Structure 1
Amino acid sequence: MGKSDPFPMPRTGLSPSEIQDKAVEIAIDQMRAKGFEKVRLVDVAKEMGISHAALYSHFQDKTALLDAVSERWLVNLDQKQDLLVLEKRDPLQKVLTWFQNLHRMKLEKVKLDPELYKAFDMAAEQSKPFIQTHLSNMRNQMSKLVTEAMEQKKLKKKDVKMVTEILISAGTAFTHPKLVAQHSEENREPLLLQTIEAVLKGLV
């Protein structure tokens, strides 16, 4: 028989998904308190009352945990945009609101959660899988809005994919992670809306 651990870690009573959620919440608190660079899995595990080895079974390293933090934020962002797409109103107005929301949510993150935004920006630079999922969701949302606008004859019948890419490309200067951060002290929302309105007029 092997020796028992003289300092057994208490059981959490949490499911694997609950452990992951709790770890993300603690990581967020630590990022806000001391910066994302100083977050350590061993500290997160200690606060949870589990061994760091147990936490490693859920997150292979610190980067994986930070990615989970960013992914949670993007999932929430995408869900809000999904609800917008389903609203029963003018699809062209929804296109404007979609860009406005995306810009505002990223700008808010830069200002209120700068450390979390830095972690997200790093993941975006490396084009992590969850970032690709977010970009795919963005295109799907815009594609639905474009299709709806064409069906209501608010836009000319054209290739939906092409129009979607035109619109998203036009908004990139206002929604790209680095550019949002670089211009965070400027009020660029009016220019964003004017830009998208001009593009839409060219597609009517």
Structure 2
Amino acid sequence: MPRTGLTTTEIKDKAVEIAIDQIRAKGFEKVRLVDVAKEMGISHAALYSHFQDKTALFDAVSERWLRNLDAKQDLLVSEKRDPLQKILTWFLNLHRMKLEKVKLDPELYKAFDMAAEEAKPFIQTHLSNMQSQMAKLVTEAINQKKIKKRDVKLVTDILISAGTAFTHPKLVAQHCDINRETLLVDTIEAVLKGLG
């Protein structure tokens, strides 16, 4: 355990919390690892042993948000109710969580968007989680004969492609001042009807 009395995980978590507060207060361009370390009461060298640079710290911030988002979606997938309604809710939840982040945490969303553009490993994990969640929902819908029996991966790809206009980071931000939920619902319902 380091001299701070905190474990490595606790140091990383605390740094992420402080970074979140500083990003919200100052904007992510103005946050410096030195300032985060100072607020933690450790040397910037000690913080650099956990985050090689500011980008790595911002990635940790975005990764935490995506892990929480994925966990919420996992809970939905495991619910016992109509799979078609769960598919629709899955898209609505994803859209709403990203829209909320754009509107309430625009600076944190900028950091996330930069990571998404660079397809960082945690972004790839999130995309893989999305595919896995949707595949489970599609399998459930096929098993309950709500969707015609087809290749699960193909149906999953069709649905995710249809929803991308409402869930892609750039497009969520671009249309953040327009209520697009009705269009999202109509789009997914039309695709599900076609698949049924």
TM class, shorter-chain normalised? over 0.9
Larger radius of gyration between Structure 1 and Structure 2: 1
State whether residues 85 and 145 of structure 1, in contact with CA within 8 Å, keep that contact through their aligned partners in structure 2: yes
Instruction: Please give the residue correspondences for 1:1-204 in structure 2 after superposition, counting only pairs within 5 Å.
Output: 11-204=3-196
Distance in 2, matches of 1:165 and 1:64, equals 31
Distance in 2, matches of 1:149 and 1:179, equals 28
Distance in 1, matches of 2:185 and 2:6, equals 46
Match of 1:58, as an amino acid?
H
State whether residues 23 and 48 of structure 1, in contact with CA within 8 Å, keep that contact through their aligned partners in structure 2: yes
Match of 1:95, as an amino acid?
I
State whether residues 100 and 189 of structure 1, in contact with CA within 8 Å, keep that contact through their aligned partners in structure 2: yes
Give TM-score scaled by structure 2 length.
Answer: 0.98
Question: How much has 1:13 moved relative to structure 2?
Answer: 1.1
Distance in 2, matches of 1:28 and 1:55, equals 16
Question: How much has 1:66 moved relative to structure 2?
Answer: 0.2
> Unaligned 5+ residue runs, structure 1?
1-9
Match of 1:16, as an amino acid?
T
Partner deviation per Cα, 1:165-204 (whole Å, 9 max, x = no partner)? 0000000001000000010000001100100000000000
Match of 1:100, as an amino acid?
L
Partner deviation per Cα, 1:2-25 (whole Å, 9 max, x = no partner)? xxxxxxxx9421100000000000
> Unaligned 5+ residue runs, structure 2?
none
Query: How many pairs align?
Result: 195
Distance in 2, matches of 1:29 and 1:51, equals 19
Match of 1:42, as an amino acid?
V
Give TM-score scaled by structure 1 length.
Answer: 0.95
Distance in 2, matches of 1:150 and 1:179, equals 30
State whether residues 85 and 141 of structure 1, in contact with CA within 8 Å, keep that contact through their aligned partners in structure 2: yes
Q: Secondary structure at the match of 2:178?
A: coil
Partner deviation per Cα, 1:48-103 (whole Å, 9 max, x = no partner)? 00000000110000000000000000000000000000000000000000000000
Distance in 1, matches of 2:182 and 2:119, equals 29
State whether residues 11 and 50 of structure 1, in contact with CA within 8 Å, keep that contact through their aligned partners in structure 2: no
